[in-house]
Amino acid sequence: MRRALVLAGLIVASPAWADDQDRDYCPARPGLGTPACTISPGRVSVETSLADWSLDKQPGERTDTVLIGDTQLRIGLSDSVEAQIGWTPAGFVRDRTGSTIDRVTRTGDVTLGLKANFAHPDGKGFSIAAQPFVTLPVGRTPIGAGDWGAGLVVPITYDLSDKVNLAVTPEVDVAVDQDGHGRHFAASTVVGVGFALNDRLTLTVEGQAIRDDDPSGKSTQGLASASLAYMASKDLQLDVGGVAGLTKDAPDVELYAGVSRRF
């Protein structure tokens, strides 16, 4: 009986302990990079792109891609470790080659990952983490990759001041070949600077370089990005952003808007 009373007391007290120990909400969106912070233990973050449109124009061809509800679920497992589940439920591709137009509607693949933080899981000061992940081919091309893939992200952030944050995100991938069969090496690096415009609004500017050694043709992409994140409350963030391609292999433009909610 005494053990039952002690257990009941711990259960009742645990929410208050979690509230006392809870840290500032740190969504992984928006932007090209990845924050080093992790979600507080026992908390869940749902981060969704309400709409994401990208345009890729190549000689004689134009491809428009729209993703709806691209979502990542982040679950705090401990003070410095979180689990991640991502999925794109709907994607629409319109491809025009000359006078021929093809339209395709597909679902995307599922991504499973973990993030382990090694210094300051709240993201304050200097923070670094490792984030391995795998993608499962539950979707269909061209939204899904057609085969399994894997990768490792190592996000690093540093507060230059109370208002300015520097972020570097290197990544290496075992990426799926363009034809959906087999895998190859790919790597990228994102460098970004975040500016706290006030207590709720943050502007982030970033640059990204991507090297992809696909057997169908190696490519190097350069991207530039700007995004705004508005913290509507301590558990709710709204965001908008845009990406511009800087090289011929990169998509021309991407625009998106999203929402993140912590529970």
d(CA 192, CA 196): 13
| pLDDT classification of 194: cutoffs 50, 70, 90 | very high
Helix or strand holding residue 36 (H, E) = none
CA 31 to chain centre: 8
Residue 64 lies in a domain: yes
Asked whether residue 7 carries a pLDDT value surpassing 60, the answer given is no
Residue 112 lies in a domain: yes
Q: Are 172 and 155 within 8 A, CB to CB? A: no
The CATH number of residue 125's host domain is 2.40.160.40
Asked whether residue 39 carries a pLDDT value surpassing 70, the answer given is yes
Report, in angstroms and rounded to the nearest whole number, the Rg of the chain calculated over CA atoms: 20
Residue 12 lies in a domain: no
Q: Which domain holds residue 114?
A: 25-262
Domains contained in the chain, number: 1
Asked whether residue 198 carries a pLDDT value surpassing 90, the answer given is yes
d(CA 262, CA 74): 9
Residue 185 lies in a domain: yes
d(CA 70, CA 51): 8
- Enter the tokens of residue 103: 């339209």
**pLDDT per residue as tens digits for the range 132-158:** 999 999 998 899 998 999 999 999 999
Whole-number mean pLDDT of the chain?
91
> How much is the pLDDT for 21?
55
Asked whether residue 97 carries a pLDDT value surpassing 50, the answer given is yes
Residue 4 lies in a domain: no
**DSSP annotation of 59:** T
**DSSP annotation of 40:** P
Residue 236 lies in a domain: yes
